[in-house]
Structure 1
Amino acid sequence: MTFQPNSPEARDVAYHLHSYTNARAHQEDGPLIIERGDGAYVIDNSGNRYLEGMAGLWSVGVGFNEPRLAAAAARQMEKLPFYHTFGSRSHGPAVDLAEKLIQLAPVPMSKVFYTNSGSEANDSVLKLLWYRSNAMGQPQRKKIISRLRGYHGVTIASASMTGLPTNHESFDLPIANVLHTGSPHHYRDAREGESEVEFATRLAAELEEMILAEGPETVMAFIAEPVMGAGGVVVPPKTYWARIQEVLRKYDILLVADEVICGFGRTGKMFGSQTFDMKPDVLVMSKQITSSYFPLSAFMINDKVFEPLADESNRIGVLGHGFTAAGHPTGAAIALENIAIIEERGLVANAAEMGGYLHERLREVADHPLVGEVRGVGLLAAVELVLDKQTRSAAEKPGQLGKHAAGRLFAHGVISRPMVDALAFCPPMIVNRGDIDGFLSALGTSLDETADAFGISR
């Protein structure tokens, strides 16, 4: 492709190394330049309008042009543009946000720790749990169990906890003491004739076998998303979380709920932990905490986690961990206003209602020859694409089918994301029935076009 000299596309290709992008292909194809937002939609620099079916990166809950968030940022920038939380310093927004988060917590929590991204939060959780094990005189208890297909970030520690091959290959990951147990995807991973309950029971038994093989005295925590996001919008099967938590309680293993995607209404409850009756010891938040208008993340810990940390910091004299911008006053002010909007406008209830409508409409495409499975909860959904429904197989090259279908959706004005051969849909929580109807119309056309391209009769 030839780019217009000095255009944004040409300058991007010249100077910008992109995340999650084939760098060589990008040099040929160039970027999509998004210029402005309008509610659940974004507009590119050619004036094309798209339904942002991924809420950016699973994250813009209140839409792409919320004036109250811009005003909250401006007010805070004028009053106190920056201050830190090191050395017993603080500021009003950080104090107020911590109090609000503890009030919202789905289970009793004690303290909030601020970071800047979900990756950074999960990295910090692992580091502080190692610190806690040492504080408790259990230096051997350093292992954390994650899941295949789970996503927890891209720093060295959080990428190790992530259970996706592309986050490990050529990065020399995962690091030691990070283990992975099975994915709870019934459609892909259940045995022939195995019910959801039987599958969940087996996964819990396999987790217990792993713990016993490693030595329960060496395992400190289990980290998981209530619903897997980047791993394919994998909704846990019936009884899964009840069975898993029984095993964790049996061996006194902490539960870390990664709510980076699920938190603040996405599943139809304020937290995914409420949707699935999880009782976490640590709860990690980011993305919709500010609707991604500002980089901010945080995690809450209960007293069981906090008290040993406090004792160890007292013994050493300091808790030697933190980040310059953590708890940034502007980010905290935006988060407070964002949460206020979510509450005042009933966006959690809207996610539940519109999520129900979305899944009702998605069932209409379940019989399409390319659709193997439709799944999701709230305003989280995925459509698994196959070329053969009996064998559940896609194209010879994994991801080829999903990429083609996502490209057709894009051509019809919907931004989606192919996760191998599953199309994800995670729109802003302000969407209405008209937005969902438009998406389903585009999806139906895109599936037909993709079937034609792959020679599948319909």
Structure 2
Amino acid sequence: MTISGSNSLIDADLSTVLHPYTNARAHEKSGPLVIERGEGIHVYDTAGKQYIEALAGLWSVAVGFDEPRLVDAAARQMAKLPYYHIFSHKAHEPSVRLAEKLVEMTPANLTRVFFTSSGSEANDTVVKMVWYMNNALGRPEKKKFLARDKAYHGITIASGSLTGLPNNHRDFDLPAIPVRHLTCPHFYRFGLPDETEAEFTARLVAEAERTILEEGPETIAAFIGEPLMAAGGVMPPPQGYWQGIEALCRKYGILLVADEVINGFGRLGSSFGSVHYGFTPDIMVTSKQLTSSYMPLAAIIFSEAIYQAIADNTARIGTFGHGFTASGHPVATAVGLENLAIIEERDLIGNAARMGAILQHELKALADHPLVGEVRGAGLIAGIELVADKTNRTPLSPTGKAGAIAFAAGHETGLIVRAIGDTIALCPPLIIDEAQIHDLVARLKTTINLTETRLKA
């Protein structure tokens, strides 16, 4: 398939690439929407049509799509030192400075940093780090992970196993590591009839403890979770959930891992999701908004106790035999430093709190729409779940049809969203202002109305 809307792509074969999360046969017929440039919260296709990028790319562009300071930071570093590694006692200034900044920004118990290029690589590394540590401490049986249904932690063999989404496992022979998936902590969809939110929380915490005892606490290495579950459907936890889970981890000597890849750096209107929900992880995984995805970068920030156990073992066996060619890449870490500086200088975390309150209020008005079952979220992240029957919370059938219609209708209204089954996900850049929120919600209302009409056709 070729396209003629852009001089740079005339006669280009747009079916050459195997696209992630895409039906390849459908793509061969329809081809891609080719995005040519960005400006603030907007992107533009090759025909010049403007879209509000209401998912910030992939939950990740904090500072907008045309921030010159990040371009300049990358260019300066490219001119000075375009690449060097941090293996074997080597270092460069951007990676050192960014590690210092991350330790400064995160909870006080997190004192050490390991860099990768993606959240998937980071969560994969967490598994290996924890296994390495437990072997070093003479606990070779302590290798299992606890995760949740509908969680998203990445797509490598290990991180994809931690993920709790069927399509990430199907035909990939996953899970491939020892992991138990617990009930998704989404009260609207998984609460029992007549069960209160407090009772739901108590049931899920009891389930987690029962699982720990069934497996044996001596075999459970870590509990991993997104503070607010994002890619599984934008699901905030029920009240008291994280306090209950943290208490269990402390009681049974289980590490607590906060996957902040989407939550981190202000998305919820707080510095990090774990801060927002009031719990203290032993390991924090960050990516996406760390560089606003201008460069691929992820960082694991972890406790001194974990570091000391790992460091002692490297002395015993001679090395920590893990790392990536691009770990702590100088251009990526330079961009990360500048991106975090912009977030702080422009108070984008505060903006997420202020604009998030407006967004959540405006979206609540959609709850009266016949198709809308639940509006949920925190700060500048939200999910609007479409249902067949509001009173009984009956899902639409077949699952995903309405979401697919809404996704396509959004393109018509100039709105790029994510359809997660029949939930419309929103996660706009942190720079969004009040007028732009009203514009976003107006386009969303039109999108949902179009979806309703087409479902009835």
Coarse TM-score class (shorter-chain normalised): over 0.9
CA 394–202 in structure 1, closer or farther in 2 if over 3 Å, else same: closer
For residue 94 of structure 1, report the CA deviation from its aligned partner: 0.6
| TM-score, normalised via structure 1 length | 0.97
Q: Which amino acid aligns with 2:357?
A: G
Give the structure 1 partner of residue 178 of structure 2. 177
1:237 aligns with 2:255: no
The residue correspondences of 1:367-446 to structure 2 (distance < 5 A) are 367-446=368-447
Give the structure 1 partner of residue 26 of structure 2. 25
Q: Which amino acid aligns with 1:417?
A: R
Residues of 2 paired with 1:423 and 1:9: CA distance? 33
Check conservation: 1:76, 1:330, Cα contact below 8 A: yes
Residues of 2 paired with 1:244 and 1:300: CA distance? 20
Q: How many residues get paired?
A: 456
Q: For residues 218-242 of structure 1, what are the alpha-carbon distances to aligned partners after superposition, in whole Å with 9 as ceiling and x for unaligned?
A: 0010000011110001100111111
Residues of 1 paired with 2:180 and 2:89: CA distance? 36
For residue 154 of structure 1, report the CA deviation from its aligned partner: 0.4
Q: For residues 69-109 of structure 1, what are the alpha-carbon distances to aligned partners after superposition, in whole Å with 9 as ceiling and x for unaligned?
A: 00000110111111111001100001100000000012421
Residues of 2 paired with 1:186 and 1:412: CA distance? 32
Find the residue that maps to 1:51 and give its secondary structure. Answer: strand
The residue correspondences of 1:59-458 to structure 2 (distance < 5 A) are 59-455=60-456
Check conservation: 1:152, 1:158, Cα contact below 8 A: yes
For residue 344 of structure 1, report the CA deviation from its aligned partner: 0.2
CA 367–251 in structure 1, closer or farther in 2 if over 3 Å, else same: same
Residues of 2 paired with 1:324 and 1:291: CA distance? 21
Find the residue that maps to 2:328 and give its secondary structure. Answer: coil
CA 9–399 in structure 1, closer or farther in 2 if over 3 Å, else same: farther
| TM-score, normalised via structure 2 length | 0.98
Q: For residues 350-387 of structure 1, what are the alpha-carbon distances to aligned partners after superposition, in whole Å with 9 as ceiling and x for unaligned?
A: 00000000000001111100000000000010000012
CA 4–67 in structure 1, closer or farther in 2 if over 3 Å, else same: closer
Residues of 2 paired with 1:157 and 1:65: CA distance? 34
Find the residue that maps to 1:454 and give its secondary structure. Answer: helix
For residue 175 of structure 1, report the CA deviation from its aligned partner: 1.0
For residue 7 of structure 1, report the CA deviation from its aligned partner: 7.5
Q: Which amino acid aligns with 1:177?
A: P
Q: Which amino acid aligns with 2:87?
A: F
Check conservation: 2:146, 2:224, Cα contact below 8 A: yes
Find the residue that maps to 2:368 and give its secondary structure. Answer: coil
Identity value in percent? 52
Check conservation: 2:3, 2:9, Cα contact below 8 A: no
Aligned Cα RMSD in Å? Answer: 1.5
Give the structure 2 partner of residue 41 of structure 1. 42
For residue 2 of structure 1, report the CA deviation from its aligned partner: 7.8
Gaps spanning 5+ residues in structure 2: where?
none
Check conservation: 1:365, 1:371, Cα contact below 8 A: yes
Q: For residues 289-312 of structure 1, what are the alpha-carbon distances to aligned partners after superposition, in whole Å with 9 as ceiling and x for unaligned?
A: 000000111101101211110111
Residues of 1 paired with 2:148 and 2:33: CA distance? 33
Residues of 2 paired with 1:19 and 1:312: CA distance? 38
Check conservation: 2:41, 2:65, Cα contact below 8 A: yes
For residue 110 of structure 1, report the CA deviation from its aligned partner: 1.9
Any runs of at least 4 consecutive aligned residues in structure 1 with deviations exceeding 6 A, and if so which? none
Q: For residues 105-155 of structure 1, what are the alpha-carbon distances to aligned partners after superposition, in whole Å with 9 as ceiling and x for unaligned?
A: 124212100000000000000011000110110000000111100000000
1:55 aligns with 2:31: no
Q: For residues 317-349 of structure 1, what are the alpha-carbon distances to aligned partners after superposition, in whole Å with 9 as ceiling and x for unaligned?
A: 111110111100100100000000000001000
